[in-house]
């Protein structure tokens, strides 16, 4: 697919805008609109320097764009995968022909290698292969520098048998070197350690642009050892066209706009970050491998793809939805009683998963929890809620929440310990933390004590009497059996101390969430904040009432790791974009809701 095929969804910005903050800030706001568009910036600048290459952002702009890129609905692709997984030996001729057709489609998963490609129209080597020719963005004020954010990073195993592509951020150190943010659990990191053990340099190539489907494939959570590009062929029913790189023996999509080729020395590490990440927090500085650049190739008239991450909603909402739908049949192979699942974008995917299941025996929900926590990238999920077949649609969040709270039983909570994403900042130790599972699928008969629900004002006064540090409260879902009370307080003491005091109000309270940030009256961002900030082993208290400590942690909590800052826009940049008339189609209220201003 050519970018031109998406022109109906593209808004062209001809106003000169800076690659530092201005372009990414406008794209960040665009992603938060009800119907976002792809943005094409034709005049990117860096101070007084002008670039010839346009910047394209928000390429996975909305649901319609996603269908256009895939050339079909994600649900149809999922059905095709499910049909292959469930294939049985055919008996009748028509069944044999049907089965043959499905298996015949698999031939498209094999890449074809071409000798010439449009991505190699211009070839720059030596001093000419310089990163300063590319309009690479600095997204956030506290970022450690400029970062490539939508690069497909191609690598292969030492023996060449395993090929891999992933999407990893890449920090620009200078015109010839990039930081490779290979998180320890990722496939590229595993391949890297092969080279390190052998003491050999590792070839690396980065493809930017071209058919957007290649970009999504780089994010797909395929099982280890399976080349993600195979998905391109399966979805499109046409073979991926790859070309051998000029200066190493890796292969990249022939229609890429820009290709950066080079290698990394497994003995060389450099501090990478900070970086405002998709969690909505910065990820902190840490040493990562370094890529040295030998060659840059481009199309005749290339464009530069970039994405912006930060607080939800952002572009990965739509990229994640593709992954969620397409990989459901594969999850069902290990959990056949899983009916459906959803990963809300304000749970930033790995922080919250909602599952609909058909439990057949006591403990079935917990069995499926453990299954999911042991499968690929699902193992990074921190919080999982399991509902029954009778639950509302998993994306009908308000009614689903009401269902969960009406069926919630604190005896059906499982808290365990396992691996967490490397980007997780709240765990007690890096890479390892609490996992929370809640089962409301298997119903239990019990008599619930009736609460005495008070108006917010009256309840606030009672809580304030318990502890003067409480600043405001807000109750949610008071019409359910397990209402939620959010308490914001001045954090001069641990939340646990206030929790102990308000147990005396148990006839008015069931679930209490503590925060020290401004989300009390903003449920969308409240989910984002709390699922980010809790480690269930430390921050969930199941007693007469249930307490959840969603505050930013510090030494008061015995938290000894560095706590990262929120990702925040630069208000002077927002003001400039407003004065240029570029912020439109979104209200001031929405900008405040999503914490843009």
Identify the pLDDT of residue 446.
Answer: 65
Closest CA to 221 of 183, 182, 165: 165
- Residue 87 above 60 pLDDT? no
Q: What does each C-alpha distance from 327 to 252, 317, 340, 381, 420 come to in angstroms?
A: 24, 16, 11, 15, 20
CA 583 to chain centre: 25
* CB-based contacts of 262, cutoff 8 Å, min separation 6: 178, 203, 204, 205, 247, 248, 291, 292, 293, 294, 295
What is the average pLDDT across 308-320? Answer: 96
Any idea which residue has 């590009």 for tokens? 229
Under the banding of pLDDT at 50, 70 and 90, the label for residue 96 is very low
Residue 449: burial class (beta carbons within 10 Å; 0-12, 13-18, 19+)? exposed
Read off the pLDDT of residues 489-523 as tens digits, 9 standing for 90 and up: 999 999 999 999 999 999 999 999 999 999 999 99
CA 347 to CA 279: how far, in whole Å?
Answer: 9
- Residue 377 above 90 pLDDT? no
Across 95-104, 330-339, 432-441, least confident range: 95-104
Read off the pLDDT of residues 322-348 as tens digits, 9 standing for 90 and up: 999 999 998 898 888 999 999 999 999
CA 236 to chain centre: 24
- Residue 103 above 60 pLDDT? no
Percent share of the chain, pLDDT over 90: 86
* CB-based contacts of 364, cutoff 8 Å, min separation 6: 337, 357, 441, 442
- Residue 241 above 70 pLDDT? yes
Residue 227, by phi and psi: left (phi above 0), alpha (psi -120 to 50) or beta? beta
Q: List the structure tokens of 487.
A: 């308490």
- Residue 281 above 70 pLDDT? yes
CA 477 to chain centre: 28
Identify the pLDDT of residue 97.
Answer: 44
- Which domains, ranges and CATH numbers included, belong to the chain? 3-306 (2.30.110.10), 335-439 (3.40.1670.10), 456-557 (3.40.1670.10)
Read off the pLDDT of residues 115-126 as tens digits, 9 standing for 90 and up: 999 999 999 999
CA 86 to CA 330: how far, in whole Å?
Answer: 11
Identify the pLDDT of residue 112.
Answer: 97
Query: Please, what is the end-to-end C-alpha distance for the chain in angstroms?
Result: 37
CA 310 to CA 141: how far, in whole Å?
Answer: 12
Read off the pLDDT of residues 134-162 as tens digits, 9 standing for 90 and up: 999 999 999 999 999 999 999 999 999 99
Identify the pLDDT of residue 100.
Answer: 44
Identify the pLDDT of residue 587.
Answer: 97
Q: List the structure tokens of 345.
A: 């974008």
**Dihedral angle over CA of 180, 185, 189, 193, nearest 10:** 140
Identify the pLDDT of residue 91.
Answer: 55
Please tell me the pTM assigned to this model: 0.94
* CB-based contacts of 461, cutoff 8 Å, min separation 6: none
Closest CA to 331 of 366, 388, 369, 385: 369
Across 349-358, 372-381, 446-455, 510-519, least confident range: 446-455
Read off the pLDDT of residues 541-594 as tens digits, 9 standing for 90 and up: 999 999 999 999 999 999 999 999 999 999 999 999 999 999 999 999 999 999
- Residue 444 above 90 pLDDT? no
Three-class SS state of 459: helix
More confident residue, 361 or 40: 40
Residue 135 is classified by DSSP as -
CA 343 to CA 362: how far, in whole Å?
Answer: 25
Identify the pLDDT of residue 447.
Answer: 64
Read off the pLDDT of residues 467-477 as tens digits, 9 standing for 90 and up: 999 999 999 99
> What own/partner pairs with CB < 8 Å and gap ≥ 24 does 449-453 have?
449/507, 451/483, 451/507, 451/508, 451/509, 451/510, 452/507, 452/508, 453/478, 453/483, 453/508
Closest CA to 17 of 568, 574, 571, 569: 574
Read off the pLDDT of residues 165-218 as tens digits, 9 standing for 90 and up: 999 999 999 999 999 999 888 888 899 999 999 999 999 999 999 999 999 999
Any idea which residue has 């459906």 for tokens? 340
Residue 297, Cβ neighbours under 10 Å: how many? 28
Percent share of the chain, pLDDT over 70: 96
Identify the pLDDT of residue 90.
Answer: 54
């Amino acid at each position: 697919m050519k970018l031109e095929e998406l022109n109906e969804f593209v808004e062209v910005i001809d106003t000169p805008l800076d690659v530092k903050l201005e372009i990414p800030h406008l794209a960040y706001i665009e992603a938060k609109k009800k119907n976002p568009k792809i943005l094409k910036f034709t005049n990117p600048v860096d101070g007084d320097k002008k670039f010839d290459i346009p910047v394209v952002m928000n390429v996975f702009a909305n649901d319609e764009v996603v269908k256009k890129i895939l050339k079909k609905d994600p649900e149809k692709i999922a059905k095709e995968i499910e049909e292959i997984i469930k294939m049985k030996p055919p008996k009748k001729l028509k069944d044999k022909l049907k089965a043959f057709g499905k298996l015949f489609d698999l031939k498209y998963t094999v890449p074809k290698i071409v000798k010439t490609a449009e991505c190699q129209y211009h070839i720059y080597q030596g001093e000419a292969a310089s990163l300063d020719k590319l309009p690479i963005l600095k997204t956030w004020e506290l970022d450690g520098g400029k970062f490539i954010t939508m690069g497909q990073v191609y690598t292969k195993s030492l023996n060449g048998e395993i090929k891999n592509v992933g999407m990893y951020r890449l920090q620009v150190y200078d015109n010839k070197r990039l930081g490779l943010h290979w998180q320890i659990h990722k496939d590229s990191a595993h391949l890297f350690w092969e080279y390190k053990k052998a003491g050999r340099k590792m070839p690396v190539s980065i493809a930017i642009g071209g058919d957007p489907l290649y970009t999504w494939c780089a994010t797909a959570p395929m099982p280890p050892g399976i080349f993600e590009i195979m998905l391109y062929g399966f979805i499109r029913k046409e073979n991926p066209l790859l070309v051998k790189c000029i200066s190493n023996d890796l292969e990249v999509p022939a229609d890429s706009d820009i290709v950066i080729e080079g290698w990394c020395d497994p003995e060389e590490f450099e501090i990478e970050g900070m970086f405002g990440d998709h969690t909505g927090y910065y990820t902190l500085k840490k040493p990562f491998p370094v890529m040295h650049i030998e060659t840059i190739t481009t199309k005749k008239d290339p464009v530069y793809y970039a994405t912006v991450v930060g607080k939800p909603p952002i572009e990965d909402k739509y990229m994640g939805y593709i992954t969620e739908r397409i990989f459901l049949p594969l999850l069902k192979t290990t959990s056949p009683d899983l009916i459906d699942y959803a990963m809300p974008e304000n749970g930033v995917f790995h922080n919250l998963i909602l599952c609909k299941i058909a439990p057949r025996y006591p403990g079935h929900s917990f069995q499926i929890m453990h299954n999911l926590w042991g499968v690929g990238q699902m193992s990074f999920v921190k919080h999982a809620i399991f509902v029954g077949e009778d639950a509302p649609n998993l994306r009908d969040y308000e009614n689903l929440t009401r269902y969960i709270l009406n069926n919630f039983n604190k005896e059906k909570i499982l808290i365990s310990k396992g691996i967490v994403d490397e980007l997780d900042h709240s765990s007690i130790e890096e890479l390892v933390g609490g996992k929370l599972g809640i089962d409301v699928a298997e119903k239990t008969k019990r008599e619930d004590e009736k609460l005495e629900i008070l108006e917010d004002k009256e309840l606030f006064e009672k809580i304030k009497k318990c502890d003067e540090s409480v600043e405001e409260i807000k109750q949610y879902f008071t019409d359910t059996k397990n209402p939620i009370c959010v308490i914001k307080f001045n954090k001069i003491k641990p939340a646990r101390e206030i929790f102990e005091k308000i147990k005396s109000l148990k006839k008015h309270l069931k679930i209490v969430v503590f925060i020290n940030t401004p989300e009390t009256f903003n449920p969308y961002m409240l989910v984002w904040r709390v699922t980010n900030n809790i480690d269930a082993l430390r921050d969930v208290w199941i007693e007469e009432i249930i307490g959840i400590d969603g505050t930013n942690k510090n030494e008061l909590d015995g938290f000894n790791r560095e706590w990262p800052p929120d990702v925040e826009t630069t208000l002077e940049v927002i003001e400039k974009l407003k004065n240029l008339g570029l912020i439109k189609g979104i209200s001031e209220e929405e900008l405040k809701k999503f914490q843009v201003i």
